[in-house]
Amino acid sequence: MPVGQRISFVIESSSDRGLSLHGEVVHQRQDLGFGMRFTNLRRSSQEGLARLIEAAREGQAEDG
């Protein structure tokens, strides 16, 4: 993804309805991927994203 590229995507999970997110690529590394800055992030989307991140962290702790 080139820097400056605008992207939109949906994260689906079993505990929440789809979380629609929008952002812009701010840096990229060929061997690693890219970093993005969220744009127009509503409070409800922030909270949903925080829940998904926390659930992922808890899953990693259980696996490790």
CA dist list (Å): 9 to 6, 14, 41, 53: 10, 17, 13, 16
Please state the length of the chain: 64
pTM over cut 0.75:
no
- Per-residue pLDDT tens over the stretch 8-59: 999 887 766 788 899 999 999 989 999 999 999 999 889 888 988 888 888 8
